Amino acid sequence: MSTSTKPVEVVIACHTPERPVGRAVASVLHGNEDVADVLVVCHNRSAEEIAGAIAPEDRDHVRFLEHRDEHRSASGPFNAGLADGDSPYVAIMGSDDTLAPGAVASWLAVRRSTGAAFVITRLALGAAENGVPTPAVRMRRAGRCDLVRDRLSYRSAPLGLIDREALRRSGLRLVEGAVVGGDVEMVTRMMHEWPVAYDRFGPPYVIGEDASDRVTYVVRPMEVQLGFVPPMLESDWFRGAPLAARRAVVVKFLRIHVFGAVFYRQHEGIWTPQEREALARMTRRLLEAAEGAQAPLSRADRDLLDACLDPAVPAADLAALAVARRRHGRPSTILTRELRHLLDREAPLRFMLASLAVAQLPRLLRSRG
């Protein structure tokens, strides 16, 4: 097969035959085959090596592309796959993930009803019934979504249906060589500038939990871990975005990327003076990029934010504060420092209710149907 014959081409990047790429391919070919073809990008491996991990009956229905670069990052092979085909729509997929039957057809249905250039897929973790409650879109939202009002920045990966022509016109790409956050600016800009919809009730994209070489939680220097942040903050499109959009993005960056990085660095020895200075510097840059972004954070979040900004705070206290902010349901994790921000869209109370709705409504509808 040299070209895609279906409306959607699913691009799977794979850097080793040890990954369960055969399972990923099968989930597209047996459950989404009416509307989707498969392109497997073999990253620094021969097509023969990767094909050997795919069931014999599936290999003839897969297009293979070899991509070689000096990076371990998946950005390179994904960029190669996104640029290579000619189908109207494209989707990217990790080699240890799967698509539930009917997922691609559901994306297309949402695309037809909304005209969206990017249809965000529903996510599940490990199994289709384990829904991931992001993005926390408005409860009654059935059409196009808004970056701010639907909290879209909490979805950092471009998973779902992408209009290939829109992608080519925009020139957007994943950051080559990035081991962390290589997709964040691309997808955030898509959700800011493109018509976007969320497939709230469709079959999910299921994130695999059994890969032995995931790098998501590897501890790296802060300048590497958060290296994708400064280029985005300094970009013309971000600096020209309305304050509400910049605030929404910065709040997400603080909660997920900054506070998450601290949480996974519990060992005090990690926090050298250089690392503490890097953390403080990055945190300040985020706050400077969007005035007032700290206002909707919980009191526990604000305590951790203050510690991130002050390298003199003992590392043990920093780590303890990162744990404390995850004790959800306590007053300190719900209330804001100033009560006038309690009902802010990004404040914990509304955010948690919206997240709960995203997680539970599809399950409730299935049980009733």
Q: What is the pLDDT of residue 5?
A: 83
pLDDT of 102-161, one tens digit each?
Answer: 999 999 999 999 999 999 999 999 998 888 888 999 876 667 999 999 999 999 999 999
Distance (Å, rounded) from C-alpha 246 to C-alpha 366?
Answer: 36
Examine the pLDDT at 4 and tell me if it is beyond 80.
no
The model carries a pTM of 0.92
Query: 309: which DSSP letter?
Result: H
- Where is pLDDT greater, at 357 or 232? 232
Q: What is the pLDDT of residue 312?
A: 97
Examine the pLDDT at 2 and tell me if it is beyond 70.
no
Length of the chain: 369
Q: Give SS3 for 205.
A: strand
Measured CA distances, 368 to 201, 202, 203, 363 (Å): 13, 16, 16, 9
pLDDT of 264-323, one tens digit each?
Answer: 999 999 999 999 999 999 999 999 999 999 999 999 999 999 999 999 999 999 999 999
User: How much is the mean pLDDT over the chain?
Assistant: 92
Confidence of residue 178 (pLDDT cuts 50, 70, 90): confident
Examine the pLDDT at 163 and tell me if it is beyond 90.
yes
Confidence of residue 205 (pLDDT cuts 50, 70, 90): very high
Nearest-10 Cα torsion for 352, 354, 359, 362: 160
| Average confidence (pLDDT) over 40-59 | 96
Which amino acid type is present at position 81?
A: G
Domains of the chain in start order, with CATH, are 8-215 (3.90.550.10), 222-363 (no CATH)
Examine the pLDDT at 68 and tell me if it is beyond 90.
yes
User: Is 335:325 a contact under the CB 8 Å cutoff?
Assistant: no
Q: What is the pLDDT of residue 143?
A: 79
- Which stretches of the chain are DSSP H helices? 21-29, 47-51, 56-59, 75-84, 103-114, 164-170, 184-193, 222-225, 229-234, 236-239, 243-252, 259-263, 273-289, 299-309, 315-324, 331-334, 348-368
